[in-house]
Amino acid sequence: MISPRRSLALLILSGAVRLAAAADFQPAIVYDFGGKNDRSFNQSASEGAERFKKDTGIAFREFEVTNAAQREQAMAQLARRGATIIVAVGFTQASAVEKVAKEFPAVKFTIIDAVVDLPNVQSVNFREQESSFLCGMAAAMASKTGKVGFVGGMDIPLIRKFALGYTEGAKYVNPAVEVFQNMTGTTPAAWGDPTKGAELAKSQIGRGADVIFHAAGNTGGGVMQAAKDAGKLSIGCDSNQDYLHPGSVLTSAVKRVDVAVYKAFTDEKNGTWKPGPVVLGLAEDGVGYSLDEYNRKVITPEMEARLNQARANIISGKIKVSEYKAQ
Amino acid sequence: METYTLIVLLLAATIRVATPLLLAAIAGMFSERSGIIDLGLEGKMLGAAFAAASVSAVTGSAWLGLGAGILTAVALALLIGFACITHRGNQVVAGMAVTIMVSGLGPTLGLAWFNLGGQTPQLDGPGQRFTELAWPWAEQARALPFPGLLYAELLGGHNLIVYLAAALVPFSAWVLYRTRFGLRLRAVGENPHAVDTAGISVNALRYQAVAISGVLCGVAGTYLSTAASAGFVRDMTAGKGYLALAALIFGKWRPWPTLGACLLFAFTDALATRLQGVALPIVGVIPVQFILALPYVLTVLLLAGFVGKAVAPKAIGVPYAKEK
């Protein structure tokens, strides 16, 4: 039981905090498991935030979630400390965003890879199946054995989306191609187990795969290492990972989480941020495949031409890529 | 033919997965046989994995990494020893404390030194990792399915630590059952008063046992970060220390049965990896969730039904105090 006088003081205090919050713009970001240096999904988000800081000189607050209980606390804490916009990276944050967004209706939230239907939440999703399709094409074109692999992180619809797009892309090039699919696990720990990733990759290589695509965060590091050790090709995910093992990484299914983060911060700063769903695909340059000096040698001009053709066809709607729907 | 290749690859994977388990389980055996519960296996391995990856990243030598891994694990083991032997503290608490401390300390130091979010840099350079040793004529032998593939994949094609771990089983069995040190070690875990009466220092023996456990955990951790993968990531032991402890109990604190337990755990793990998405006769494709739970289900069933009574060393967990 709080005494009336104390509650009044609290009210004034929280009012003061609200005022201070409204007065200046303060961005914040909450990363998911794997951490901001996972060289993949979270790192991409972190790069967007860092770029915003460099361009505007405005510092941002950040938090790396290391256990599930921290999400809500971290977000509420950031909101209480006066963050005006909080970007939540990753689908696992959805329930925390839903709860905290209701609690702090004045704070704006952008969630990536999930949909939260609230008046102060923007939900950014990507059409990963489109970039996965292109990577599947690249894999099938580069494969000599006609067998390609896919290693997913946690077994969730999002990762199935990658797998389905990849399979369709590979079959588009070579209908007889064999695609091996493995998931690392069914808990968030599956994002951070490179030893298991390497083991899965080795098992696929043992069955004849010579190109392996991972959508597994940190676990993917093990996949790419195993592919390199065996002299095979791998395909990176989310961030451009071509530089990790030059010549052994065929390409990366780039997901521009950095652009989404950067845009959320900038829009909020300029007052143009809008709640509701945002979907980014090839047409919006939200996803794509990477081509740089590190993988120039493994992507032949013919492959490049075919990939760009397919890219244009997907954008125009000539090629339809199915989206995985959870039953 | 296809099946034969699959089986050989499955067994090769079993060996790779079993190596860190076996090293840790034998480490635990030395410690527990002397009467010290070794719940710090996980922490010692994790600390060694971090130290090995850090030193290898900085110096470019996997061997220096191994040295650092062993030193770190021995230091942690002696810390546990200091708490449990000298100060007669609770062994379970000391082991857990070290594990929890290391799981926080590793990433923290990593963040401070390398600024990569608690990871160490990727180990890419020549000599930074223990890579697979190609046996002579392995490539040519591969062409002959039998016994060429067996030779290339199962016997050869592993890294040095794997062979070291394999050699460790007969060696530790010899030490434990055929040497004076082994006899005393077993005695001190069963009846420390008798050992003391014979004029042998209980504490010195237990410190030696704990240090041996540290050395082996150091090798196990080094294997994880510089051989099985290329760098340290947070909590990369992923419960292997506890699994090793289960294997040790399963193996009734004896070297050969412990080897069997480790191989069984590793086999179910490797099998689970390979059964995913494969259509089996009669049942069809099994859901991923079931496959992933399989090793644990099997462990529970085996522990419950087939092993019989596992009798721990009598004096385990009891700090030794001389009669006053």
- What ranges do the domains of chain B cover? 2-130+138-305
Average pLDDT on A246-274 reads 92
* pLDDT range class, residue A231, cuts 50, 70, 90: very high
Average pLDDT on A282-290 reads 92
Q: Is A236 on the interface with B (CB under 8 A)?
A: no
CA–CA dist A140, A130 (Å, integer): 16
Q: Which of A37, A203, A244 sits opposite B9 (nearest CB)?
A: A203
Contact B157, B282 (CB under 8 A): no
Contact A162, A153 (CB under 8 A): no
What pLDDT is recorded for position A60?
92
Task: Give the closest residue to B288 by CA, choosing from A191, A323, A149, A184.
Answer: A184
- Domains in chain A (CATH in brackets) are 9-126+258-280 (3.40.50.2300), 128-254+297-316 (3.40.50.2300)
Chain-chain contact of B236 with A194 (C-beta, under 8 angstroms): yes
Closest residue in A to B8 (Cα) is A206
| Residue numbers of B between 137 and 196 with CB closer than 8 Å to A | none
What pLDDT is recorded for position A326?
57
Using a CB-CB cut-off of 8 Å, the residues of chain A touching B118 are 35, 37
Chain-chain contact of A182 with B273 (C-beta, under 8 angstroms): yes
What pLDDT is recorded for position A15?
46
What pLDDT is recorded for position B274?
76
Say how many CB pairs under 8 Å bridge A and B: 81
A108 pairs with which residues across the strands? Answer: A85
Contact A200, A150 (CB under 8 A): no
Mean pLDDT for all residues in chain A: 88
Average pLDDT on A221-233 reads 92
Q: Which of B12, B233, B276 sits opposite A192 (nearest CB)?
A: B233
Pairwise pLDDT comparison (B44 vs B230), residue with the higher score: B44
Chain-chain contact of B288 with A186 (C-beta, under 8 angstroms): yes
Question: Is the peptide bond between A119 and the residue preceding it cis, with omega within 30 degrees of 0?
Answer: no
| Residue numbers of A between 136 and 155 with CB closer than 8 Å to B | 155
Average pLDDT on A210-232 reads 92
pLDDT digits (tens, 9 = 90+) for B47-99: 999 999 999 999 999 999 999 999 999 999 999 999 999 999 999 999 999 99
Q: Which of A155, A203, A225 sits opposite B273 (nearest CB)?
A: A203
pLDDT digits (tens, 9 = 90+) for A140-177: 999 999 999 999 998 888 899 999 999 999 999 999 99
ipTM confidence:
0.73
Contact A184, A1 (CB under 8 A): no
Beta strands in A188-264 (DSSP E): 211-215, 233-238, 249-255
For the purposes of burial, counting CB atoms within 10 Å of the CB of B192, is it exposed (0-12), middle (13-18) or buried (19 or more)? Answer: buried
pLDDT of residue B118 exceeding 60, the answer is yes
pLDDT of residue B324 exceeding 50, the answer is no
pLDDT digits (tens, 9 = 90+) for B233-262: 888 888 889 989 989 988 889 999 999 999
| A51-55, A86-90, A124-128, B290-294: least confident range | B290-294
Dihedral angle computed from the Cα positions of residues A69, A73, A75 and A77, in that order, rounded to the nearest 10 degrees: -160
Chain-chain contact of A35 with B289 (C-beta, under 8 angstroms): no
What pLDDT is recorded for position A21?
42
CA–CA dist A278, A292 (Å, integer): 28
% of chain B residues with pLDDT over 90: 52
What pLDDT is recorded for position B150?
75
What pLDDT is recorded for position A16?
45
What DSSP string runs through A121-187? Answer: EEEEEE-HHHHHHHHHHHHHHH-SSSEEEEEEEE-SHHHHHHHHHHHHHHHHH-TT-EEEEEEEESS
CATH of range B2-130+138-305; options 1.10.3470, 1.10.730, 1.10.472, 3.30.70: 1.10.3470
Pairwise pLDDT comparison (B122 vs B67), residue with the higher score: B67
